[in-house]
Amino acid sequence: MQLLLLTAGLGLLSVLGAQGPQLIRARAQELVGRWHIKLWVGNLPIPAQKRSHPLPPFTLAMNELQKLEFRMNLTKPIGCIPFKSPLHIGPKPGVFYTWWRHFISIRFLPGKLHAIAYYSEKRGSTRLRMMMLMGRSLDEDPEAVRTFEEFAESKGLNRSDIARPPPLEACELPPDS
């Protein structure tokens, strides 16, 4: 009987593994470089007209304190404003947190050309969630999109709410920032 249960359990694990690619926990050094926001979805209170607003690329770099740092130039009426935020290494591999104590899980898709960043926080009786598919280039990858859509659904978000923001190059970061 135990052998039957073990065989069935291992068979189930192999089927579950075949349903989608294995996501790999990201380490800080592996994330360094320029990234583009390809897709994002969340239940944060963001006005509908801003959900598809163009987004500039961002950079993850090691700062002078050897901490991973998120860098993005934001478009404002007065021009491009640089935004920087250190990401501290969290309690588990692939988990980072901001100085606001927002924990962000980042996992690579196979090949490490795409990653999914996921944020979830409970506020009162509401669970706030947001995630994005980030890519090292603007090239299309249907497999990465499919994986992101499935991951979003597994976290309770709707596939129909996924935004595909166009790239914005007006506030592009210099290559060495």
Give me the pLDDT at residue 4, please: 31
Give me the pLDDT at residue 172, please: 56
Within 8 A by CB and 6+ apart from 129, the residues are 42, 43, 44, 118, 119, 120, 155, 156, 157
How high is the mean pLDDT in each 10-residue block of the chain (177 residues)?
33 40 92 96 86 89 93 84 92 91 94 96 91 96 97 94 85 53
Q: Which domains does the chain carry?
A: 23-161 (2.40.128.20)
Dihedral angle over CA of 135, 105, 158, 109, nearest 10: 40
Give me the pLDDT at residue 45, please: 84
What is the rounded CA–CA span in Å between residue 130 and residue 117? 8
| pTM of the full structure | 0.81
